[in-house]
Amino acid sequence: MPVTVAQSETLCLIRLEGELNIASAAELKKLLLEALAGEVELQVELGNAAELDVTILQLLWAGERAARVAGKGFALAGRLPEQIAIAVAEAGLARFPVATDPKAAPK
């Protein structure tokens, strides 16, 4: 799972690429926990994801819930590939907020 993390004073952007499955879960969980421990909004970009399994969906769901409980922002950034958008919707995660201003994301 190629991953990059970009952080600014107000935003942590986690970009995930390739196949995202149980083998990626530990690394993603670590990144989400680190981001949620900070005081910034969290965005996850899946635009270059090729596959997303239920383990990753569960982690994203838990991350969104933890952010909401903590009063922090959590959103999916950028465009979702069609197969990922279908998986997200079928898992009932379509209510995830989607970041509307990709220019606000750190590089």
pLDDT band at 85 (very low <50, low <70, confident <90, very high): confident
Backbone angles phi, psi at 85, to 5 degrees: -60, -40
pLDDT, position 71: 92
Residues whose CB falls within 8 Å of the CB of residue 75, separated by 6 or more in sequence, listed in order: 41, 42, 43, 44, 96, 97, 98, 99
Inform me whether the pLDDT recorded for 84 exceeds 60: yes
pLDDT, position 103: 46
pLDDT, position 22: 93
Query: How large is the average pLDDT for residues 66-88?
Result: 87
As a whole number, the mean pLDDT across the chain is 84
- Is the whole model's pTM more than 0.95, yes or no? no
